[in-house]
Amino acid sequence: MNSIDFSLDTARRLDREDPLADWRAAFHIPPAPNGSDCLYFTGNSLGLQPRRVRHLLEEELEDWARLGVQGHTEARRPWMPYHENFTELNARLVGAKAHEVVQMNSLTVNLHLMMVSFYRPTAERPAILIEKPAFPSDRHAAASQIRFHGFDPDQDLIEIGPREGETNIRPEDLMALIEAEGHRIALVLLPGVQYYSGQVFDMAAITQAAQAKGARVGFDLAHAAGNIPLQLHDWGVDFAAWCSYKYLNGGPGAIAGCFVHERHAEDETLPRFAGWWGHDKSSRFRMGPEFHPIPGAEGWQLSNPPILAMTPVLASLEIFDEVGMSALREKSLKLSETLLQWLDDRLADTVEVITPRDEKQRGCQVSLRLKEGDGRRIFDALERDGVICDWREPDVIRVAPVPLYNRFEDLYHFVDRLEQAILMDRTL
pLDDT in tens, 365-407: 999 999 988 999 999 999 999 999 999 999 999 999 999 999 9
In this structure, are residues 167 and 354 in contact, taking their beta carbons and an 8 Å threshold?
Answer: yes
At residue 2, does pLDDT exceed 80? no
pLDDT on residue 427:
81
Q: H-helix or E-strand containing 190?
A: strand 185-191
> CATH fold of 81-322, please?
Aspartate Aminotransferase; domain 2 (3.40.640)
Query: Where in the sequence of the chain do the CATH 3.40.640.10 domains occur?
Result: 81-322
204: Cα within 13 Å, side-chain hemisphere: 8
Q: How confident is the model at residue 266 (pLDDT cuts 50, 70, 90)?
A: confident
The crossing angle, in degrees rounded to 10, of helices 107-118 and 136-148 is 30
pLDDT of 178 over the 80 cut: yes
Q: How far apart are CA 196 and CA 191, in angstroms?
A: 11
**Does residue 122 carry a pLDDT above 70?**
yes
Q: Is the pTM for the entire model greater than 0.85?
A: yes
In single-letter form, the type of residue at position 155 comes to Q
* pLDDT score recorded for residue 1: 62
- The answer to whether residue 428 scores a pLDDT higher than 90 is no
Return phi, psi of residue 268, to 5°.
-75, -5
pLDDT(90) > 70: yes
Per-residue pLDDT tens over the stretch 191-214: 999 999 999 999 999 999 999 999
Whole-angstrom distance, CA of residue 67 vs CA of residue 373 = 61
pLDDT reported for residue 3: 87
The pLDDT tens digits for 307-348 are: 999 999 999 999 999 999 999 999 999 999 999 999 999 999
How far, in Å, CA of 131 to CA of 145, rounded? 16
Q: Which letter, b or e, does each residue of 145-171 get, where b requires 16 or more Cβ atoms within 10 Å of its Cβ? A: bbeeeebebeebbbebebeeeebbbee
Tell me what the mean pLDDT of segment 234-257 comes to: 98
Reported as a single tens digit per residue, the pLDDT across 296-313 is: 999 999 999 999 999 999
- Mean pLDDT over 7-15 rounds to 97
If you ran DSSP here, which 8-state letter would residue 296 be given?
Answer: S
What dihedral do alpha carbons 169, 175, 180, 186 form, nearest 10°?
Answer: 90
The strand pair at 366-370 and 396-399 is best described as: antiparallel
In degrees and rounded to multiples of 5, residue 129 shows phi and psi of -100, 125
Distance of CA 208 to the CA centre of its chain: 22
What confidence score (pLDDT) does residue 123 get? Answer: 97
- Average pLDDT (220-249) is 98
Q: Is the peptide bond before 133 cis (omega within 30 degrees of 0)?
A: yes
Q: What is the pLDDT of residues 127-154, one digit of tens each?
A: 999 999 999 999 999 999 999 999 999 9
Give me the pLDDT at residue 13, please. 97
Give the model's pLDDT for residue 254.
Answer: 97
Q: Does domain 8-51+324-427 have CATH number 3.90.650.10?
A: no
Q: What is the pLDDT of residues 14-50, one digit of tens each?
A: 999 999 999 999 999 999 998 899 999 999 999 999 9
Contact (CB, 8 A) for 94 and 226 = no
